[in-house]
A = this chain, B = another copy of it.
Amino acid sequence: MVEYSNDKIISEVLKSMSDVTRRSLLTRLCQEGPSRVTDLASYYDVSLNAISKHIKVLEKCELITRKTIGRTHWIEADLKQIHIVEKWFKELKSIWELRLEKLTEIMEIEDD
Q: Hey, which bits of chain A sit against chain B, CB under 8 A?
A: 7-8, 10-12, 14-15, 17-20, 23, 26-27, 30-33, 77, 79, 82, 85-86, 88-89, 92-93, 95-96, 98-99, 103
Contacts and interface: CB of A to CB of B under 8 A. Distances in A.
Given A18-B18, A30-B95, A86-B89, 20 more contacts: A7-B20, A8-B20, A11-B20, A11-B23, A12-B18, A14-B17, A14-B18, A15-B18, A23-B88, A26-B92, A27-B92, A30-B93, A30-B99, A31-B95, A32-B99, A33-B99, A77-B96, A82-B89, A82-B93, A85-B89
Copies of this chain, count: 2
A61 B33 CA distance: 32
